[in-house]
Amino acid sequence: MADLEGIADDFKWTGHDAARIDVWARVSVYRDGKLVSVDRGAHSSVTAYFNETNEAKSAYNEGEPRDDWATYLAPWSAVLAHTGHYSPEDAEKTLRDILPDVLRFDRSQPAAYPNGRTLSDDVEDIRLQMVSNHEITGDGIGPHTDLLTEFPYLGHPHKK
């Protein structure tokens, strides 16, 4: 068994693992012989709600989390002001949960979004509540309740 630090050291246990880890992912494809980022992030659906144009979505997907706060605080605060009537202060406080777009997990706390994410967390409902300042409570679909005990863990996709 290895801890996170030990993964880089031939998968050895070092005992120096941090209580909190930050995770994000990128999906890239080859286009015209060049590797192009087509999706990135850690928090479900942020680009769909906050980046209104295809150009903004592409720029986001090509970006790095280290630049998110400087790049997206102002435009995403404007989205929250429009969709949820947030004050600038409340928008900034709310965006601290998703900027930079890395999924944080504090291993000393129970896993539940936004501290990590479990397979039964209804993140889409949480995102709708966030952008609407709790005016919209959910999408009516609900989380998975048909979890399996082995891979792939999720049951069949929702039909509606």
Render pLDDT for 114-160 as a digit per residue (tens, 0 to 9). 999 998 899 999 999 999 999 999 999 888 888 888 888 887 777 76
- Do the Cβ atoms of 142 and 155 come closer than 8 Å? no
> What is this structure's pTM?
0.81
**Residue type for position 76:** W
Distance of alpha carbon 35 from the chain centroid: 23
Q: Which helix (H) or strand (E) holds 91?
A: helix 88-95
> How does pLDDT run across 30-69, given as a tens digit for each residue?
999 999 999 998 998 999 999 999 999 999 999 999 999 9
Distance of alpha carbon 117 from the chain centroid: 9
Q: Does the bond joining 152 to the residue before it have cis omega, within 30 degrees of 0? A: yes
